[in-house]
Amino acid sequence: MSVREGWRPKIVAFCCNWCSYAGADLAGTSRIPYPASVRIIRVPCSGRVNPVFVVRALQRGADGVLVAGCHPGDCHYSTGNLYARRRLLVTRRLLAYMGIEPERLRLCWVSASEGERFAKVIEEMTAVLEKLGPVQQLREEGPP
């Protein structure tokens, strides 16, 4: 597929307020650089993330969606991330089944103390998306 000049992947990341958002903050306070590809949306819990949010992001031009929550067992609400895991697992499979690269959706566990890890996840994912290129499938035609 043809990737237009200077294209950089865009990742929409849903971060749970208690672990992953804090983890991203820690990456900041400890000045751990990572690609500027990611844009974070703060949610109370990874369990708040509706699979439709994911597809919506891919439709509107995101190249990848990251959902980050507390490690299983550490969820501030005890079970939210476990529901999220099920839902997003199915979501991911369905995306693949309907012809969207599953790598575009990733769920990961990042605790408040894992700034390093957050940065690493973003690096990995950015690399993956750079290989995949922009989402061609769901592009909608804009005004002439």
Partner 1 sequence: MSWALPAVDALAARLLEDRLVDAVLGWARDPDLPWQRYPHRVDEPSRVGELVWDPFCAPGLAKLVFRMTEGGLKLGVLARGCDALGVWRLIHDRRIARENVYLLGLPCPGMADGVRVWEECPEAFDAAGWEDHGSHWVAVPTGIRLPKERFLLDKCLQCQVRWPRQCDEVLAVQGGSWNPFCEDRYRQVRQLEELPLPQRFDFWRGWFERCLRCFACRQVCPACNCESCSLDQFEPNWLEREVGVATQFIFHFTRALHVAGRCVDCGECQRACPVGFPLGALNRKMMKDMEDLFGVREPFVPQESEPLGEFALDDPDEFR
Partner 2 sequence: MAVKLVRGSDMLRWLRRCGEGRRWVVPAKEDRHWLFAERDGPVVFPPDYRNATVGPKGWLLPRSEPILYYRWTGGRVSVTPAQGWRPQVIYGVRPCDLKAIALLDSIMASEPWPETQYLTRRAHTVLVGMACTAASSCCFCTSMGVHPAESYAADLMIYPLQGEEYGVAAFSEVGREWLAQLEGEEADAAFSPAVPALSLPMPTSLEDLPGWLERRFDDPGWQRLAWRCLSCGLCAYLCPTCYCYGISDVDRGGAGRRVRWWDACTLPDFSRMAGGHDPRPTTTERVRQRIMHKLAYHPARQGEILCTGCGRCIEYCPMGIHLPAALRLLGGDGR
Partner 3 sequence: MKRVGVFLCWCGSNIAGVVDMDRLQAEVERMPGVVHVEQNKYTCSDPGQESIRRAIREHRLQRVVVAACSPRMHERTFRAMMRTAGLNPYLLEMANLREHCSWVHRDIDEATAKAVDLVRRAVFKVRLARPLQSGKVPITRRALVLGGGIAGIQAALDLADFGIPVVLVESSPSLGGRMAQLDKTFPTLDCSSCILTPKMVEVATHPSIRLLTYSEVESVEGYVGNFKVLVRRKARSVDEQRCTGCGECLSKCPAKVPSEFDLGLGTRGAIYVPFPQAVPNVPVIDRQSCLYFTRGRCRICQRACPAGAIDYQQEDRLESYEVGAIVVATGYDQFDPAAYGEYAYRASPNVITGLEFERLVSSTGPTGGRILTPGGGREPQRVVFIKCVGSRDEQRGASYCSKTCCMYVAKQAILLKEKLPRCEVYVFYMDVRAAGKDYEEFYLRAREMGVQYVRGRVARVFPHGDRLRIRAEDTLIGRRLELEADLVVLASAMVPRPDARQVARKLGIAANQHGFFSEAHPKLRPVETHTAGIFLAGAAQGPKDIPDSVAQAGAAASKAAALLSRQEMETEPVVAEVNEHWCSGCLRCARVCPYNAISEREIRVRTAAGVRTKTVATVNPGLCQGCGACAVACRDGAMNLAGFADQQVLAEVDALCL
- Residues contributing to the site for partner 2 (CB under 8 A): 60, 142-144
Contact of residue 132 among partner 1, partner 3, partner 2, none (CB under 5-8 Å per partner type): none
By the rule CB under 8 A, 79 interacts with partner 1: yes
Question: Which of 10, 90, 88 lies closest to 43, judged by CA?
Answer: 88
* Chain position carrying tokens 């703060």: 42
Q: Which of residues 112-141 bind partner 3 (CB under 8 A)?
A: 119
Distances 91 to 18, 24, 27, 134, 137 between C-alpha atoms, Å: 24, 25, 29, 19, 17
- Residue 77, binding choice from partner 2, partner 1, partner 3, none, Cβ under 5 to 8 Å by partner class: partner 3
Q: Using CB distances below 5 to 8 A depending on partner kind, what does residue 48 bind out of partner 1, partner 2, partner 3, none?
A: partner 3
Tell me: does residue 120 bind partner 1 (CB under 8 A): no
Based on the shown chain and the rule CB under 8 A, indicate whether residue 98 belongs to the binding site for partner 1. yes
Which partner from the list partner 1, partner 2, partner 3, none does 138 bind, CB cut-off 5 to 8 Å by kind? Answer: partner 1
User: What DSSP state is assigned to residue 62?
Assistant: -
DSSP assigned state of 98: T
Judged by beta carbon, residue 30 or residue 78, the one nearer partner 1 is 78
Among 60, 93, 131, 139, binds partner 3 (CB under 8 A): 60
Instruction: Give the residue from 91, 128, 94 showing the smallest Cα distance to 107.
Output: 91
Q: Which spans in the chain are helix H? A: 20-29, 51-60, 80-97, 115-132
